[in-house]
Structure formats: structure tokens, C-alpha cells
Structure 1
Amino acid sequence: MDTKALRQKILDLAIRGKLVPQDPNDEPASVLLERIKAEKERLIKEGKIKRSKKAAKTSDTPHYGNVPFEVPSGWVWCELKELCNKFSTGPFGSMVHKSDYIDNSDYPLINPANIIDGKIDVTKAVRISADKAKELERYILEEYDILLARRGDLSKCAIVINEAIGAYCGTGSFFLHLNGMDARFFSVVYGSTYLQKILKSECVGATMDNLNQGVLENILMPYPPLSEQQRIVAEIEKWFTLIDTLEADSTNLQNLIASTKSKVLDLAIHGKLVPQDPNDEPAIELLKCINPKAEITCDNGH
């Protein structure tokens, strides 16, 4: 069974509204989106967040017409920047040098290499000095921020939780914070074939793929009601747990098969796989016919 393809199929069904049934009692995503836009405008006027450089009034019009695929009633399409309260590139390489790294400090710097299987591994992160940490305060990661690899493997995506809260975004990453979209649902969309195809076609670099913030901000996102996002995430977690079990069972089965083959061969060369027939010509006699001068040492002529 191709479990990788199965996982991908589940993600693709999820972002098309085909994984869980819709609930007509859910608040339509369009209503929530209007509230998000109003709240965002308020925060911009208060100077708490900045308006996206490319955020003209395009977000004031519904995203109908030339959409990537049909979504259920109650869903809408919106650009990612409409949902972002925070979207930032990590510090430039010139801002962090090897001399800033200190073993066992309290300030981990998270790079794409620390994003493993959708989780952030803080234990292997490089660490920076207290002075450098103060200089990089604007890059502190908060709970439920989303961390993305900015170069190389652009499928890397992780949610900031547990030990990663309070760490610092590294030079090879983006981090963003969403309003009105469950961070886990964003991860579902980000890992889907739909979005990954866009990144692979639009974010091509000379030596490695590089994620372009402008491309990402303007990607159309399928946007379900918030309660449905949470139902989708719960359903995916259920299926992925089952797939994990299948993969573990498959690994155990393969190990058992390999062990059994080795045992069978071991029994065979020790004469313990099949019973001996006393009517068989002893091997010692056959060997003498093949090479009369052979020196034979054995305690069993057969």
C-alpha cells in the first residue's frame, strides 16, 4: 500500500470539502471573513499591524469566477494575506554569524532543518547569545505561529507549540500568524497537491527553490467555516493515526519476513530444515568421488 499517496489523497479531499459533511448551522465563512477584515482594518489604524504591501482593495470583492476548483456552499475563496495578522521573513543572513552561536543558551534559533515531519525539533537548534536575542526580538515565535521553510524543501511547515514558543525564527524561514483559520487547517492546505504545485511552479531558484512572500500572500485559499475546519482536522488526525498503525505493522511484517528468511537459511545449512533419508548416499562418499585426495574432517558421514 502506498501510504504516502493515501495521505495526499486525504488532504486533497479535505480542502475540497469532501472529507466531512457540511453542517448548515455553521456560520458561513463569508461572514467570518468580513469580521476578520474589519478587525484587521482596526488594528492597522491603531498601528498594531502593518498593511500588506500588495493588499489593495482587491480583498473587498468576493473571490468568484476563475477559482482553482469548486468548494461547498458556506465556503469562500480568499487570499492568504487576508487572514494574516503577521507575516515575516526571518532575519537576513548578515544579521546572524557563527560568532553569535553559544552552546546551551536559552535562545534557540529555528531553521528549516529543525522542521521535521511537521514538528519543530528545538533540541537540535543552534542557540544564540543573549545580546543577539535582544537584537532579534521582532523574530520571536509566539504560540500557534506557523513556521515555513523559505528555501529548499518548501513543503516544510510546522505550528509553534510547546518548547518552540519563545524561540527565534532563523534566516531560512518565514513565520506568520492567522486570524480566523485554524493553524492545523492551514497545514492541511499547505501540504495539499494544490498548493505545493503552485509553490513548485512559482518559487524556482537558481540553485534551490526559494519561497517568495509575494507569491504566498496572494495564493487563493479554500476557506471553510471555522467549526468545519476543526472537524476536518479531527477527521484527518483519525485517518493519519490509522495509517501510522498500518505503516508500523508493515514495518514489523517486513522485519519478521527478513528474520524468517534468515532463520530458514540458517536451519537449511545446519541440516535441520528437512528430515534426513538414511537411504541417501552419504555426502562423504560423493566428495571422495569428486576429489579422492580431499581431506575430510567430520563427525557425521552424511
Structure 2
Amino acid sequence: MLPQGWEWSKLEDIVSFGGGKTPSMDNREYWDNGKHLWVTSKDMKCSHITNSLMKITDKALEGMTLYEKGTLLMVTRSGILRHTLPLSILEKPATVNQDLKIISPHIQELSEYLYVIIKANEHIILKEYHKDGTTVDSIDFDKFRCLPIPIPPLAEQQRIVVEIEKWFALINQIEQGKADLQTIIKQAKSKILDLAIHGKLVQQDPNDEPAIELLKRINPDFTPCDNGHYTQLPDGWTITTLKDLCENINGLWKGKKEPFVNVGVIRNANFTKDFKLDYSNIEYIDVEQRTFAKRHLINGDLIVEKSGGSDNNPVGRTILYEGESGIFSFSNFTMALRIRYNDTVLSKYLYYYILAKYQTGAMRLMQTQTTGLHNLILDKFLLMSICLPPLYEQRRIIDRIETIFTTLGAIMESL
């Protein structure tokens, strides 16, 4: 039941409809130095249209319809209609292509109100007005023309629009604040890791066994690096490299010799954006049993992406495997770093250390590109300097990182 003074109307009773087309792309007279807006679905990304990616000339306009400011544009043919109904209002006169429909209110003052009503019915339109049996998702426009519209008095329409715009502005402000907070949390995590690997996250304990003693147990032949460039290194810390701490094991090839065993293979696709292991889409394949014996993961292994990546996301992403030994292997696009000394604390510390280096952009200097594929320069990566604290301090650092990250993660989930 409508409020007093309101009336129901079909959409087609209060608007007129139109469409558009694409001038011949082969005729440069239609496009070169064009100045008239020609709107396509690619431009339908905001509520009000002020510009278009492509423009047509006066010559092309002769065969087109120029729609005035206040006209509503709606996408009626596109894959996006599976989940979204793009709708916009023209802020300037424009033409459109064949994938858009024009809704021109008989009274221009209706434009903003109609936009609100149609968007409010978006989920119904996408569900009930979807056209079946077509190769491209589309709206059954004959049904859409009869969309019931509740019409309030004009002054009340204006008040409704003003009130909605006020709340939408507040929502946009909240969304922007959410995005800003997510950025701040990401920056905070990066700063925490940076403090951790420079000995500034937890207090040092002079009673801790120096890290050099740990290195001697890992590798009795270890020769300390020259620490002259690290004058700010905390007491008890030392400089080493990944190569001194770990053995690197190349990823798996299937092989052709029996017997075979069916195993899950960790691939680049199993690296989540927050550098964790995604178990949901692990691929299981048959591989040589003898190969798997040399290429299986054990608890505490670090899995490093050595091929793949992109300009924005360089190779070198590293995840920590914390699971049962002898269950999974890893693809030839990755490699495993295995601590020479069986200590999962050191593994986890190195995981956070490499993550800290990755987030500073250090991995960009450790990759090369061939035939479109980014590859990790292994020598540079394995010789990366590691600021290593005493073992007990490693534990305190890990505990502090994970406590803070848990709190920040809870904030992120609540946004």
C-alpha cells in the first residue's frame, strides 16, 4: 500500500525508450578528432556520465541520436548482468552503442528518482527479467518496460533523492575509511616485520646464547661474515645467508618410471595473498615414487616461488609448510628451503624475515625475465644476508609478531 499522494505507474508510461549503434570503425571520418560522447558499457562505471572513452565526429552524428542531459543509460547486453545492473545518468549530451538502452523521462526532474528506484530493484530485475536462451547475458526489455514504479509527489521525490544522497555520501566515506584502514594495517604489518628483523621489536636478553653458537651447530664449517657494514646489529646477533642456513631442493617433475604414487603438489596457485598455504585447490597427480622420496615436504620447510610472478608481484613469495611430513610435494616452479638444523623456530623466523624483505621490494632485484616469465636469480636469493638473532630471541620475536598480527587480522575481518 502506497503512502497518501503516491501512485503506481508502469515505467513505459512515464518515459520513452531509445537505443544506439556503432558507426563503422573502418570509416575514419566517423572517429578522427571526434568530440561527441559515444557511451558504451565500458563507460558505465559511475552513477553520472561526464565523459566517454571514445568520441564520434559531426559526420558520424548525422546517423545517430544525441540524447540530452538527464537521460538514463542502462546496460542490457553484457556478462556483467550476471551480478550487476549498470545504470547511469547523462551529465552531458551523448550518443550510445547497441549494448545500451536509453530511458528518457517525460519530465526531466524524474531522472534522479528513477535512478534510485531502478537500482533499488536491481536484484529483482537481474533475476526476473533475465533473458534465457541467448549467448550473451541480456535483459528482457519488453518485461522491463512494465516495471512498476511508485510515484510520489515531485517535492517528495526531491526530498527522497537528497536523503539518499546524504546516506550514500556517508557510506562512501565509511568505505573510503575502511580502505584507508586496510592500507594502514598492511603498512603496520610491514613496519612490524622490519622492526623484528632489525632487533627492535622485543628486548634483548644478555643471557641468551649468541646466534653464532647456533650457526656452529647448523654448520660446523661456518665462517662468520664481515659484520663491519652492520654496526647497528644487536648484541648476540650475527650475519649469515640463506645458503648457510638451508639446503635448497628443486621442485617436482612427474617422471615416467614405475612405481607411481598419488600425491598433492603445492603450486604457485596455492600461495594466498597473505603468504599462507591454501589447501582448498591442491592438485593430486601420479609421480615416480623415487622422485617423491627426494621431493616431499617436511614440517618446517619453506616453499619459495622461483618462476612465475609479474611486474607487480615479483617472484620470491615464500610460504611456511606446517603439516605432516611426507604427504605433499611441490612443483618445478617452486623450490623448498630446508633448515640444516632441525628447528621449526628458525624456519618460522626465516619465513617472517623473507616476508619482510619481499615487502620492501628486495625481490625485484633478485629476478630476471625470459620469454615473458619472471625467474628468481637463485644465487642472489640464496646469498641474501640474514640478520640472525639468538634462538630464544627468535621465539620472542615470533610470539610478538603473531600476537600483533592476530589483533590486526581481527580488525581486518571486522571491517
Give TM-score scaled by structure 1 length. 0.68
- How big is the shift at 1:201? 2.1
In structure 2, how many angstroms separate the alpha carbons of the residues matched to 1:123 and 1:222? 32
**Corresponding residue for 1:72?**
3
Q: Does 1:141 align with 2:73?
A: no
Letter aligned with residue 177 of structure 1 = S
More relative contact order, 1 or 2 (CA 8 Å, 6+ apart): 1
* Correspondence 1:197 to 2:124: yes
The AA in structure 2 aligned to 1:169 is V
Q: Counterpart of 1:295 in 2: which secondary structure?
A: coil
Residues of 2 paired with 1:210 and 1:301: CA distance? 68
Q: How many angstroms apart in 2 are the aligned matches of 1:237 and 1:108? A: 26
Question: How far, CA to CA, are the matches of 2:140 and 2:218 in structure 1?
Answer: 75
Aligned equivalent of 2:196: 268
State the secondary structure of the residue aligned to 1:147.
strand
Q: CA deviation at 1:209?
A: 2.5
Counterpart AA for 1:204: K
Q: Determine if the alignment matches structure 1 residue 177 to structure 2 residue 108.
A: no
Residue type of the alignment partner of 2:9:
C
Deviation at 1:198, TM superposition (A): 3.1
Aligned equivalents of 2:57, 2:70: Cα separation in 1: 25
Say which SS state the counterpart of residue 179 (structure 2) adopts: helix
The whole-number CA distance in structure 1 between the counterparts of 2:62 and 2:128 is 38
More strand per residue: 2
Richer in helix (by share)? 1
- Check whether the contact 1:190–1:196 (CA below 8 A) recurs between aligned residues: no
The one-letter code matched in structure 1 to 2:36 is: Y
Name the TM-score, length of structure 2 as normaliser. 0.50
How do residues 225-264 of structure 1 correspond to structure 2 at under 5 angstroms? 225-264=153-192
CA contact (8 A) 1:107 1:130 kept: yes
Tell me how far 1:301 sits from its aligned partner. Answer: 4.6
Q: Does structure 1 residue 108 correspond to structure 2 residue 34?
A: no
Q: Provide closer, same or farther for how the CA distance between residues 195 and 277 of structure 1 changes in structure 2, counting only shifts above 3 A.
A: closer
Any conservation in 1 of the 2:131–2:140 contact (CA below 8 Å)? no
Deviation sequence 1:192-232 (CA, Å, 0-9, x none): 1x354134322324222323332222111111111111111
Are 2:40 and 2:96, in contact at CA under 8 Å, matched by a contact in 1? yes
- Distance, in Å, in 2 between the alignment partners of 1:123 and 1:87 is 21
- Is the CA contact 1:115–1:121 (under 8 Å) kept in the aligned structure 2? no
Shift of 1:280: 1.2
Which residue is 2:212 aligned to?
A: 284
Contact 1:79-1:218 within 8 A present in 2 as well: yes
SS class of match (1:249): helix
Please say if residues 200 and 209 of structure 1, whose CA atoms lie closer than 8 Å, have aligned partners that are also in contact: no
* Contact 2:50 2:90 survives alignment (8 Å): no
User: How far off its partner does 1:298 sit?
Assistant: 4.8
1:89/1:200 CA distance change after superposition, 3 Å:
farther
Q: 1:98 aligns with which of 4, 19, 25?
A: 25
User: Are residues 273 and 226 of structure 1, via their aligned partners in 2, closer, same or farther at CA, if it must alter by over 3 Å?
Assistant: same
Match of 1:60 in 2: none
Give percent identity, aligned residues only: 34
CA deviation digits over 1:224-282, x for unaligned, max 9? 11111111100011001111111111111111111111111111111111121111111
| 8 A Cα contact 1:83 1:178, kept in partner | yes
AA of the residue aligned to 1:143 = K
The residue number in structure 2 matching 1:216 is: 144
Structure 2 distance, partners of 1:174, 1:204, is 15
Residue deviations 1:121-167 (CA, integer Å, cap 9, x gap): 5241x22333221122xx11112111111212451111111xx32x2
> Does the 8 Å CA contact 1:148/1:175 hold for their aligned counterparts?
yes
Secondary structure, aligned partner of 2:207: coil
Asked if 1:156 corresponds to 2:82, the answer is: no
- 1:287 CA drift (Å): 1.8
Measured in 1, the distance between the counterparts of 2:17 and 2:63 equals: 19
* Residue aligned with 2:4, SS: coil
Cα distance in 1 for residues equivalent to 2:102 and 2:226: 73
Letter in 2 for 1:157: L
Q: Which amino acid aligns with 1:79?
A: K
Q: Distance in 1 between matches of 2:111 and 2:76?
A: 18
How far 1:97 sits from its partner (Å)?
A: 1.9
CA distances 1:77-114 after superposition (whole Å, capped 9, x unpaired) = 11111112x311223x5xx2212442431223111221
1:119 aligns with 2:45: no
Give 5+ residue unaligned stretches, structure 1.
1-69
What is the deviation of 1:74? 1.6
Q: Does residue 207 of the first structure (1) align with residue 151 of the second (2)?
A: no
Residues 176/289 of structure 1: CA separation in 2 closer, same or farther (3 Å cut): closer
CA gap 1:245/1:72 in 2 versus in 1, 3 angstroms? same
Whole-angstrom distance in 1 between the partners of 2:111 and 2:203: 64
Q: Is the deviation greater in 270-279 or in 225-234?
A: 270-279
Residue 114 of structure 2 corresponds to residue 186 of structure 1: yes
Letter paired with 1:285: E
| Contact 2:208-2:236 at 8 Å conserved across structures | no
Q: Is the 8 A contact 1:114 1:121 kept in 2?
A: no
